[in-house]
Amino acid sequence: MVRRTEKSIKKLSRNRWWLTIPIVIFLSICTYQLLVVSMRGLIYYIMEKSLEEDYLRASDLMEMYEYAEKNNDINVKKFLGLNEREWFVTDREGTILDGDSENTCGENSAVLTKMDFISEITVHEDLESDVLYISNGGLAIRYKKLFKEIDHSFEETPETELPDEMKDLSEEEMDEHDLMLVSRNLEDRASFPVWAEIPMQDGRIFMAKIFFRVDAGDLTVVVIAVAVLFLFLFILFVYLVIRTIRLRRKQKKLTLLYHTDEITGGYNWKWMHAAGERYLKKKKTAKMNFAMLDIDFDQYRNYCICHTVEEGEKLLEKLDEVIGNNIAKKEMSAHYGSASFAVLLRYDREEELLERVKALIGSLEQAAPGQRVRFHVGIDLIPASLNENGRAVKRKKVDLETLYNNANAARMTLESKAESAVQIFDSGLVEEQKWNLSVQENQEKALRAEEFVVYYQPKYDPRTNMLSGAEALIRWNSPELGFVSPGRFIPIFENNGFITEIDHYMIRHVAADQKKWLDQGYHLVPVSVNVSRAHFAENDLAEQIRDMVDEAGTPHRYIEIELTESAFFDDKKALVSTIRKLKKYGFTVSMDDFGSGYSSLNSLKDMPLDVLKLDAEFFRGDVEDSRGEIVVSEAIRLAKSLHMRTVAEGVEIKKQVDFLADQGCDMIQGYYYAKPMPGEEYEVRMKTGFKDPEAEKMNEEMDRKTEEAGQSGEQAGESI
């Protein structure tokens, strides 16, 4: 979960707001190119249309030249001489044959093929023009000079009258010869010349200067087009800049919201996990010592019950503020969850760190005036990262979650403390964590391989010393972990839920053993099997037990279901229902560890139990304790009044046995009679059915002395 959270933080941190910057640059370049291409295309379109129109007029002039030459028409020749267009005629080799202008035609030529009415036009440079020129076989424009000339040509110019020679020609004469009078355009217009080749019928070439003309309307179109594209670019740029700023602000707000604790309003664990690992991995922090703290407000739930949840959250907010005020700038703190805080501190000496933590606890205790509160603090030390030469090297692997879990493991050892306390994580806790991990890694395999072994501890009637029952206990004979006592693995199974599988395993194996011994003719007594409180969340628990015992073929009266007193603190209605079902199916039901809790009498009132087991703590300590004897005797009397049998467990001395026998206790279970034993040894007990503890102790003492004498002889032989 933490790793997925870290990835989410990184993804949020890598939000692509910065991508808008290259996008803006890219779109700006594209728009600029579009602007240039569009402007160039528009100018070329205007130029080609203008050149084509002027080419057609020049063609008319060439036709007039051919007509006048063919018909020797003086008037036409006179008009040609008066026409302002420059022209000349050449043969196929380029020799000038006729003309009325200076030859400014350059050798560079280009063929224009995008005409509407003419397939193609061959043009040459005009040596006097520095705006239109031939480039790579095409007609090119010098834009700076073009716009400079346009600006200059559009200055207001006076109208130009027709020359006197043209005034002598009447309109009728022009119509008679079907001539086109091309007068000067009296409007403002800029003209840029090139020489055009116009083929004549006899193979000669009529060279005429034609013009690319730009008037105010053409310029307006270009300016509007440029303005529109520029405006589009500007709007796009402004939009992207505003969007970038908003996206960046939104990202910061989302990141802050993602890293903010809902209760305290300060930083949460997600922020500290990411920021803390980055900080510890920096080279400048490698030479520093750090400590990860797990600070737990131990009475938070009681505080909320006495006050309100809202008041409890306000106190957590205040505690977060107190912690923040007591740490340096480069140190970190965050609300981890419930009433716990994670704190990363820097320290030089361990003694100095402990003093600082105790001072911090003092400040936290003062945050709730008038209230007696306590804080438990677990610490995991993070030493400086140094190489063999004592030089600081970057921490390559830092797992803040593991560091906090270590601090939490140290803090958990303080749960029984009634005052504020501090515990540092050490190697012993590391070994305990490794052991827990090893147990969990091997539990499934061990169950399949039946590595769990059933041991039996007999129960005897203290008045007759006859075998009256037994309790099934579990041991683990692991090839990897060795022979493991239940105290080392049962708590782990209870925490991870595997205890339910163990309960099923025990019921099946005990039922199978009882069936085997019954078939072999042994005198059976009931064997009790513990059932964890975790099972009582299952509505069909009684049916499950019945079916497992029936599968082995064992009569139900030989199986006793033993419930721990803690199970009676759960759903009482469900528990009563299950007990009644078990009794209906013929099972005996007992309460284990009576007297270890604080609700036993209330439980006895409601639960239809058959057997009451007195907790072993009753029989430890001073055997002359009259108060303890009173409690035990009254508990036995109470059980008899409720028609329940009693079992005293943990009994180790004869005086306790005699006392219990006098009080009418039905059975005794403990080392005085027998310790837990494998099934083979228990079979021997069933054969005799009787136990003389005093005679057995004398035999055990003789066996022990014989064994010691034999070992001494072996050692003497070896020394010789």
- What percentage of the chain reaches a pLDDT higher than 70? 78
Residue 199 has pLDDT above 80, yes or no: yes
pLDDT the model gives residue 257: 66
C-alpha span between 210 and 193 (Å, rounded): 6
pLDDT, average across residues 654-664: 90
pLDDT the model gives residue 377: 94
pLDDT, average across residues 675-688: 91
pLDDT the model gives residue 547: 95
Better-scored residue on pLDDT, 372 or 643: 643
Residue 504 has pLDDT above 50, yes or no: yes
pLDDT the model gives residue 703: 55
C-alpha span between 286 and 307 (Å, rounded): 45
pLDDT the model gives residue 569: 56
- What percentage of the chain reaches a pLDDT higher than 90? 29
Residue 482 has pLDDT above 50, yes or no: yes
Better-scored residue on pLDDT, 72 or 452: 452
Better-scored residue on pLDDT, 641 or 166: 641
Q: pLDDT-based confidence at 376, cuts 50/70/90?
A: very high
pLDDT the model gives residue 433: 78
Contact criterion met (CB below 8 Å) for 426 and 317? no
β-strands 96-99, 467-478 pairing: unpaired
C-alpha span between 25 and 15 (Å, rounded): 19
Better-scored residue on pLDDT, 603 or 304: 304
Better-scored residue on pLDDT, 415 or 483: 483
pLDDT the model gives residue 431: 81
Contact criterion met (CB below 8 Å) for 607 and 579? yes
C-alpha span between 298 and 376 (Å, rounded): 7
Residue 76 has pLDDT above 70, yes or no: no
Poorest-pLDDT segment among 123-132, 159-168, 487-496: 159-168
Spatial neighbors of 112 by CB under 8 A, at least 6 apart, are 48, 51, 120, 121, 122, 123, 139
* Beta bridge partners of residue 658, listed in sequence order: none
Query: pLDDT tens across 387-402, in order?
Result: 888 888 998 888 899 8
Grouping H, G, I as helix, E, B as strand and the rest as coil, residue 620 is coil
Poorest-pLDDT segment among 210-219, 316-325, 471-480: 210-219
pLDDT the model gives residue 158: 46
Contact criterion met (CB below 8 Å) for 490 and 499? yes
Poorest-pLDDT segment among 79-93, 420-434, 591-605: 591-605
Poorest-pLDDT segment among 365-374, 440-449, 669-678: 365-374
pLDDT the model gives residue 702: 56
Residue 1 has pLDDT above 80, yes or no: no
**Average pLDDT across the chain, whole number:** 80
Q: pLDDT-based confidence at 716, cuts 50/70/90?
A: very low
How many beta carbons lie within 10 A of that of residue 153, not counting itself? 16
Spatial neighbors of 373 by CB under 8 A, at least 6 apart, are 297, 298, 299, 303, 364, 365
Strands of the sheet with 289-297, listed across from one edge: 332-337, 340-347, 289-297, 375-382, 421-424
Residue 461 has pLDDT above 90, yes or no: yes
pLDDT the model gives residue 512: 96
Top-confidence range, 246-260, 511-525, 602-616: 511-525
pLDDT the model gives residue 720: 24
If you ran DSSP here, which 8-state letter would residue 619 be given?
A: G
Residue 160 has pLDDT above 70, yes or no: no
Let me know if 73 is exposed, middle or buried by CB neighbors in 10 A (0-12, 13-18, 19+): middle
Poorest-pLDDT segment among 96-100, 276-280, 708-712: 708-712
Top-confidence range, 18-32, 387-401, 519-533, 584-598: 519-533
pLDDT, average across residues 185-205: 76
Query: pLDDT tens across 248-288, in order?
Result: 777 666 666 677 888 888 888 888 888 899 999 998 999 99
C-alpha span between 681 and 697 (Å, rounded): 17
* Residue given tokens 């043209």 in the structure block: 166
β-strands 289-297, 375-382 pairing: antiparallel
pLDDT, average across residues 303-307: 82
Residue 502 has pLDDT above 90, yes or no: yes
pLDDT the model gives residue 19: 64
pLDDT the model gives residue 616: 77
